[in-house]
Amino acid sequence: MDARENQLPTSFDEFMKPDPESVEEKSEKQTLEERFARERLSWSAKVKEMSTKLKRALDVAILMTEIYTERQRGLEYYHYLISLLIKINKNYKKSYAERHEYYTFKSQKRFANVAAMNNQISVELEGIVEKREILDNHAKFMLETVKTVDNLIFGMKTRIDIEQIARGK
């Protein structure tokens, strides 16, 4: 695998390449979905690993140093995804407005109603909509992962309290 394939694009223009025409570009689009799937598995494994460290009292000390770092990484990644989503939404609205103006005033094609025109525009902007939905889904996953890590942080205190009760304190 290419090292570049394992990273999100650094620029918005790179992320929003036009609709894939060639087989190579279609596989690149598929790679975005696969990359997000791999990241979801990776974050799930991290949360599972942190959860298992709550079992032993000695591991809770190690977990305390690790959990805040992972929470911050997850939160920063979530905000990065949201910034990309904002740019995609801006691009979508601009493209939608251009297509709407074109079909309303410049095109020889006439539609029976507004819904038919909106459907035509949606078909033309399918690539942007798909990327937006993929990114939105991944951002929601990251937000819930951060919430799960927050629950683990709360669980650490409870685990320490249980350990103290077991020791008779």
Please tell me the predicted confidence (pLDDT) of residue 4: 46
Cα dist from 137 to 60, 63, 131, whole Å:
32, 28, 10
| Best CA proximity match to 138, nearest among 2, 36, 23 | 36
Q: Does 28 have pLDDT greater than 60?
A: no
Q: What is the pLDDT of residues 94-115, one digit of tens each?
A: 999 999 999 989 888 888 899 9
| Best CA proximity match to 37, nearest among 126, 137, 118 | 137
Q: What is the pLDDT of residues 83-99, one digit of tens each?
A: 999 999 999 999 999 99
Separation CA 119–CA 14 (nearest Å): 27
Query: Tokens 């570009």 belong to which residue?
Result: 25
CB atoms under 10 Å from CB of 36, counted, come to 19
Q: What is the pLDDT of residues 49-82, one digit of tens each?
A: 999 888 887 788 888 889 999 999 999 999 999 9
Q: What is the pLDDT of residues 41-52, one digit of tens each?
A: 999 999 999 998
Contact yes or no for 126/19 (Cβ under 8 A): yes
Per domain, the residue ranges of the chain are: 24-166
In the structure, what pLDDT confidence band is assigned to residue 17 with cuts at 50, 70 and 90? low
Please tell me the predicted confidence (pLDDT) of residue 26: 61
Mean pLDDT, the chain, whole residue set: 85
H helix count then E strand count, the chain: 5, 0
Contact yes or no for 38/7 (Cβ under 8 A): no
